[in-house]
Amino acid sequence: MSETPQVIDLDREVIKQGLQEGSILLVDVREPHEFAAGHIPGSISHPLSSFDPSSLPEGKRIVFSCAAGVRSVRAIEFARASGRDIREHYKGGFKDWAAAGEPVE
């Protein structure tokens, strides 16, 4: 099994702090119906099924998030394949966020 190069796992506290400071752009790569059913406040929807890394803003610290950390790694692979230097994701994803009782929109 091949390792994804340089995927950086972030935990909930780092995500919370980054969102609070406005230092990260949390990109939720779950499907639209999943996002609509509940998402992390401040995150934006960018479904993996129609993923286009070139539409992501430049100059922002982009962090991918999904349900549990699988699709967010795929999003990193897609972004890197298209030449974007994005390697951070929220390892626990939405399930970790919701299970911890964090606010959900």
pTM: 0.94
* Residue-wise pLDDT tens digits, 59-105: 999 999 999 999 999 999 999 999 999 999 999 999 999 999 999 99
Structural domains in the chain, sorted by start? 8-99 (3.40.250.10)
- Could you confirm whether 66 is annotated as catalytic? yes
* Residue 3 confidence (pLDDT): 54
* Residue 6 confidence (pLDDT): 86
Residue 52 has pLDDT above 60, yes or no: yes
Decide: 64 and 29 in contact? Cβ < 8 Å: yes
- Dihedral angle of Cα 46, 52, 53, 57, to the nearest 10 degrees: -60
Query: For the stretch 65-89, what's the b/e string if a residue is b when 16 or more beta carbons lie within 10 angstroms of its beta carbon?
Result: bbbebebbbbbbebbbeeeeebbbb
* Residue-wise pLDDT tens digits, 1-32: 555 468 999 999 999 999 999 999 999 999 99
User: What residue type is 7 in one-letter code?
Assistant: V
CB 63: neighbour CB atoms within 10 A?
Answer: 24
The two three-digit tokens of residue 46, written as one number: 């960018």
DSSP letters spanning 43-74: -EE--GGG--GGGSPTTSEEEEE-SSSSHHHH
* Residue 38 confidence (pLDDT): 98
Q: Which of 24, 62, 66, 73 is catalytic?
A: 66
